[in-house]
Chains A and B, each alone.
Chain A
């Protein structure tokens, strides 16, 4: 059997998801210059929200997504106002440790509330698949990828054509100059952070019917998002998309074509990070000043 069509389909579907994951993460990082090590935990919370609404009330993850996104936005905004805002001017080390600690706290609240058990959301479409020739397309991943592409397109449109979106881009490029232009930089920071959290929980809702939901699912996803941002470099959405697909193709390629590859695929993100940091420390698409 020819693996190539299946490999391409799987990689592309995964790449779409990774794009959403990475852009959500990069939005807060690019604007506030603070790596949010708790971003994975927002993905986890989104997945749990989808899971509980599905098992408790039988609501489809896609139906509840808008409500969960609004909730994620509110949580992100509160988190920023309560904690992140205090370390905006602090040394890097304080910022890193603070978000790391917040992620840890959220993760273990989840462990205490919901135990460490693996769960998964199973709407009907998640169990079916489409067959074209030899290739096999699971509906769940197709739907997930579709939603991801839609959300990313909406974000890009917002960034491009709205006043707030322009302000976000201005602050990301140069926050001092943006201040001089009369932009409320702190407000934009809060907005970006909240939007980033909203995209995080949206990612969680989408992956809830694709991978298993556990309190520890966030950290590996965070690392993948970091890898994509490092591959892409700062400040380039095109780069982010390319980075997401590079990671997706590399991981899927490993899983398909290397013996015991699915185990090694977990390490691809780390190899990629290391390789890019050696060859081009500012990413494929970043500029050295970022």
Chain B
């Protein structure tokens, strides 16, 4: 069987499993699935931006905006679960549009720094506007509107499956090639008739909306929000680790990486969970090791395995391009 076909079937089975778990799984399994699904969404979202050459260090910003918009909708306007998710996505999309327009000319490191600044700036705003956000004390979601754990779990599962489908769809259109060209060299891609600004704004909008969706679902799951939770650097980190671990710039990479990262997180929690700070230490080390020794991640390993077994020529899509100065 060709690897693409195998991955497609594996993805299908995984999607069915994810959607079935809220109905048949135990509460602890459902909890793990929920966290894995939200992680998958931000990983796919991060990978899409990275695919266009935009390195985000600010995914916690999108996440936090989604969370705050959802909780504000619910508490101030009594907007129920599903519409609040849509508003959360809208909020993330708007922040994404603003970010992309402001950083229009920035590349590489400068763009990354700008995303970091955005997310920290949003955190300061959340702390300093207590009338709106509940400030540093945080805010509880109006429990009268809570749709039940089942609904929230299904929303997370659907979100993850849709995000994966969307990234698969994009990979089959010409946009995929446009983004790859932009990643390699934005100026040169302009000569191919690609409008970098247009593509850049649209990918950041989509990516922001996705990450905000995950944030919005999470606030309904947890029921509580403060600026530290919403704009946690941990989210930014996980959004990077999953695609790097799985295989950056690939379709299955973020999902494989999400599964691996979730597994790693569980193992660390069970063995060493009593030591403060150890889980982030482990994730930090994983990230460093991946960057140094496994730049193509798990997907790269699988490709090599298939190549040696099937001896089929592979279209190597995942080679990171060298940047030009």
Q: Tell me if A153 counts as interface (CB < 8 A to partner B).
A: no
How far apart sit A123 and B8, CA to CA, in the bound complex (Å)?
65
**B310 interface residue, CB < 8 Å from A?**
no
- What 1/0 mask marks residues of chain A from 78 to 97 whose CB sits below 8 Å from any chain B CB? 00000100110111111011
Q: Which candidate, A109-117, A126-134, A188-196, A237-245, is the interface stretch facing chain B? A: A109-117
Interface centre among A108, A223, A263, A278 (most CB of B within 10 A): A108
Per-residue CB proximity of A8-27 to B under 8 Å, as 1/0?
A: 00000000000000000000
A101–B287 contact, CB under 8 A? yes
**Distance between Cα atoms of A230 and B102 in the complex (Å):** 15
CB-contacts of A246-290 with B (<8 A)? 260, 263-264, 266-267, 269-271, 273-274, 277-278, 281
One of A109, A115, A116, A277 near B110 (C-beta < 8 A):
A277
Residues of A within 8 A of B288 (CB): 83, 98, 101-102, 105
Task: Give the docked Cα–Cα distance between A108 and B292 (Å).
Answer: 20
Given A35-B113, A281-B110: A93 touches B320 (CB 8 Å cut-off): yes
Nearest A-chain residue to B120, judged by Cβ: A270
A/B pair count, beta carbons within 8 Å:
130
Contact call A223/B116, Cβ cutoff below 8 A: yes
Q: How many residues of B contact A (CB 8 A)?
A: 46
Which listed residue (B102, B237, B276) contacts A112, Cβ 8 A? B276
Instruction: Say yes or no: is A226 at the interface (Cβ < 8 Å to chain B).
Output: yes
CA distance A96 to B233 in the complex (A): 15
Residues of B157-191 at the interface with A, using a CB-CB cut-off of 8 Å, are: none
**A92 vs B105: C-alpha distance when bound (angstroms):** 17
Do B237 and A87 touch across chains, with their CB atoms under 8 A apart? Answer: no
Nearest chain B residue, comparing its CB with the CB of A268 = B124
Docked complex Cα distance between A107 and B114 (Å): 23
B7 contacts the other chain (CB 8 A): no
Is B321 at the interface (CB under 8 A from chain A)? yes
Q: Check: A219 CB closer than 8 A to any chain B CB.
A: yes
Given contacts A111-B277, A260-B128, A264-B128, contact A86 B105 (CB under 8 A): no
Contact A270 B118 (CB under 8 A): yes
Q: How far is the CB of A185 from chain B (nearest CB, A)?
A: 14
- Shortest C-beta distance, A120 to chain B (Å), equals 21
Q: Do the beta carbons of B124 and A267 come within 8 Å of each other? A: yes
- Near B by CB (< 8 A), chain A positions 192-227 give 215, 219, 223, 226-227
A100 within 8 A of B: yes
Q: A91-B321, A91-B323 are in contact. Are A97 and B120 (CB under 8 A)?
A: no
Q: B295 at the A/B interface (Cβ < 8 Å)?
A: yes
Q: A104 near B: Cβ within 8 Å?
A: yes
One of B17-25, B86-94, B278-286, B298-306 contacting the partner = B278-286
> In the complex, how many angstroms separate the beta carbon of A270 from the nearest chain B beta carbon?
4
CB neighbours (8 Å) of A107 from chain B are 280, 284
A108 to B281: give the CA distance in the assembly, Å. Answer: 5
- B114 contacts A273, CB within 8 Å? yes
- Chain B: which residue is nearest A215 at the CB level? B277
Tell me whether B105 and A108 are in contact (CB under 8 A). no
Of the candidates A100, A101, A270, which one forms a contact with B117 in the assembled complex, judged by CB atoms under 8 Å apart? Answer: A270
Q: Is the CB of B102 within 8 A of A94?
A: no
Indicate with 1 or 0, residue by residue over B308-325, a CB within 8 angstroms of chain A CB atoms: 000000000000111101
A109/B117 in contact, CB under 8 A: no
Partner of A96, one of B105, B112, B127, B285: B112
Pick from A101, A227, A270, A278: contact of B291, CB under 8 Å: A101
In the complex formed, the residue of B with least CB distance to A102 is: B288
Which residue from A89, A215, A219 sits with its C-beta under 8 Å from B322? A89
Q: Are B110 and A104 in contact (CB under 8 A)?
A: no
Q: Using known A-B contacts A92-B55, A97-B287, A277-B106, determine if residue A226 contacts B276 with beta carbons closer than 8 Å.
A: no
Complex-state Cα separation, A223 to B321, whole angstroms = 28
Residues of B within 8 A of A270 (CB): 117-118, 120-121, 124
Nearest 8 interchain pairs by C-beta: A111-B277, A104-B284, A267-B124, A270-B121, A108-B281, A101-B287, A101-B288, A105-B284
Can you list 11 A-B pairs with a CB-CB distance of less than 8 A? A83-B292, A86-B292, A92-B55, A92-B108, A98-B287, A100-B240, A103-B284, A104-B237, A116-B276, A270-B120, A270-B121
